[in-house]
Structure 1
Amino acid sequence: MNFPAQMPTAPGADRIGQSTAVEQSRAVAEVQAAIYVARQFPREIDRARTGMQSACGSMALASKAFYRFPRAGGAVEGSTIHLAKTLAQTWGNIQYGVSEMRRDDDYRQSEMQAWAWDVEANTRHVLTFIVPHAKFAGGQVKALEDLRDIYENNANNGARRLREAIFAVIPDWFIEEAEDLCRKTLDKGDGKPLAERVEGAIGIFRSLGVSETRLEQKLGRTKAQWTGADLAQLLITHKSIQRREISVEEEFPQLRVTSAEIKQNASRKQDNGPQ
């Protein structure tokens, strides 16, 4: 049997189609244009700082600038993706994004990537990570089956990594000043008297099944002693409950009656006797 001198080459993975080549060219041109524009219009630090101060002075941003969730018997607090995106916009010349690179239904996981790029300084921070299609609930790991649950789980994990990526390309002093301003805004509130804000907070948590006594126990003092900082903490907690980062039971455990209190109540009943 005679064989040809050279076997025909089968189409390989390195073959690039026309649409792929066009997309690659477009992506390269987009990057070059972004760098050119950033260098033509560099950020103005004073202008960026003024924009940040204005944004952090509003309750609209301050009320959702921080998160709180339980961990190891305590709670972890920090800045949210909402604050991170606002700072990226005010700092300027920053691009960012998050995407699902691959979904593996056999292993029940998604490979994702979050990134932030300071186009002007040409500083880029990339995070590639695996998100299991599962969640921890009721003391055990539960597999996610519904496509919407998987999407929301990926989105929540992606938002956290994206926050880290954005903060990695923004100066620390800019972030710290923004956080301080947001806390001061929460402390001052929306212009209402402190007593009115206290009653409003009590009413909000009462609708969640949290009594005034449990709030006082959480803050360690009576409502007459609450400050603007205490109300700011309650507002952060309420927002975290709404976003399902923490549950009411985790943040406000039921009041526990000690054995000493039981004995004291029993002795009081004996002393009073039947009337």
Structure 2
Amino acid sequence: MNFPVQQAQGPDRVGQSTAVEQSRAVAEVQAAIYVARQFPRDVGRSRSNMQAACGTMALAEKAFYKFPRAGGAVEGSTIHLAKTLAQSWGNIQYGVSEMRRDDEYRQSEMQAWAWDVEANTRHVLTFIVPHAKFAKGKVEALIDLRDIYENNANNGARRLREAIFAVIPDFFISEAEELCRETLNKGDGKPIEQRIEGAVAVFQKLGVNADRLEQKLGRPRAQWTGADIAQLLITHKSIQRREIAVDEAFPQARITAAEITGKNGGRKQQTPPNDDPWAGEPTK
């Protein structure tokens, strides 16, 4: 008596759409490598493109960030500068994606990557982003979908910046940062007096008067330089990007009882406290 022979079950069948997408992805990678080999980067042209971009205020004013941390200040280059350098260097692909969102554990698994197609150098960062933020000395859970999206986007941008800088030569990055700082110091061609008045007016809209600006820089505005205006511009952009609060960047001077009741014609003496990380050195 013959019994039917059961065929061994093979792997799950791949759908047509999945097969097409896999083939497309492989072909895209092969095409990128082929084009990069056919049209290798010209370092001289890449530097020219970078220098032209860093010589504009449009990039320079977005090139740096600054925010307080642990009694000091953290500053560096932004994702805006990183993307511009990747475009100038050429033959670089990069991206960031949310791989998985876990609402039960309130976290997202994300990945940021940058790939120098010509040198075949790839830097990948996989990381977990909690759906929470640290505010007012405590951790607050994020519930609103827009807040979660913005939190993931901000964390992804920081990792993407690291990935891009990992595949670009250090000399290229250093030269770009120096040129951007020079552009900020020179400004947009306006006289220094006009730039000072513009800076005071911009911060006045944020509720920061000239006295608090002078306290931060450590000298009266009549002695401000282009570098001082550049520092204020970086701080202003960081406030706009919500990397730092106004009161954190420009803390109010604390007044003691002795100063209030002292023999000073009834006027309050406002001096930067010694433990204030934003207060500059007193002028001599």
The normalised TM-score by structure 2 is 0.89
Distance 2:223 2:141 in 1: 45
Counterpart residue number, 1:161: 159
User: What is the aligned counterpart of 1:132 among 130, 133, 146?
Assistant: 130
2:75 pairs with 1:77 = yes
Partner of 1:239: 237
Percent identical residues: 79
1:16-31 equivalence runs, <5 A: 16-31=14-29
Moved more, 135-144 or 245-254: 135-144
Alignment of 1:143-162 (within 5 A): 143-162=141-160
CA RMSD of aligned residues (A): 1.6
Q: Partners of 2:83 and 2:250 in 1: how far apart?
A: 31
Q: Distance in 1 between matches of 2:222 and 2:258?
A: 27
In structure 2, relative to structure 1, the CA distance for the partners of 1:146 and 1:197 (3 Å cut) is same
Cα distance in 2 between the residues matched to 1:122 and 1:106:
38
Match of 1:67 in 2: 65
**Displacement of 1:60:** 0.2
Residue 112 of structure 1 deviates from its aligned partner by 0.2
* Pair 1:45-2:43 in alignment: yes
Q: Which runs of 5+ in 2 are unaligned?
A: 267-284
Distance 2:159 2:231 in 1: 24
AA in 1 matched with 2:95:
G
Evaluate the alpha carbon distance shift between residue 265 and residue 4 of structure 1 in structure 2; reply closer, same or farther with a 3 A threshold.
farther
Within the candidate set 171, 174, 181, 1:173 is matched to: 171
Equivalent residue, structure 2, for 1:97: 95
What's 2:193 paired with? Answer: 195
Does 145-154 or 119-128 show the bigger shift? 145-154
The equivalent position to 2:104 in structure 1, one of 92, 106, 117, is 106
Secondary structure, counterpart of 2:139 in structure 1? strand
Aligned equivalent of 2:113: 115
- Per-residue CA deviation, residues 109-143 of structure 1 (Å, 9 max, x unaligned), is 00000000000000000000000011111111111
Q: Deviations over 1:82-108 (max 9, x none)?
A: 000000000000000000000101000
Equivalent in the alignment of 1:272: none
Q: Tell me the amino acid that sits aligned with residue 122 of structure 1.
A: N
State the shift of 1:243 in Å.
0.4
Instruction: Report the secondary structure of 1:265's partner residue.
Output: coil
Cα distance between partner residues in 1 of 2:234 and 2:61: 7
Matched residues, number: 264
Q: 1:7 to 1:143 in 2, by over 3 A?
A: farther
**Cα displacement string for residues 153-196 of structure 1 (whole angstroms, at most 9, x for unaligned residues):** 10000000000000000000000000000000000001000011
Deviating above 6 A after TM superposition, structure 1's stretches of 4 or more consecutive aligned residues are none
Q: Structure 2 CA distance, aligned partners of 1:43 and 1:224?
A: 47
In structure 2, what is the Cα distance between the partners aligned to 1:24 and 1:88?
A: 27
Report the CA distance between 1:73 and its aligned residue. 2.0
2:246 corresponds to 1:253 = no
Offset at residue 261 of structure 1 (A):
2.6
CA distance in 2, matches of 1:214, 1:4: 89
* SS of alignment partner, residue 262 of structure 2: helix
CA distance in 2, matches of 1:149, 1:190: 36
Q: Distance in 1 between matches of 2:91 and 2:215?
A: 46
* Whole-Å separation in 2 of the counterparts to 1:42 and 1:105: 45
Q: Distance in 1 between matches of 2:19 and 2:209?
A: 63
* Alpha-carbon distance in structure 1 between the residues aligned to 2:226 and 2:259: 33
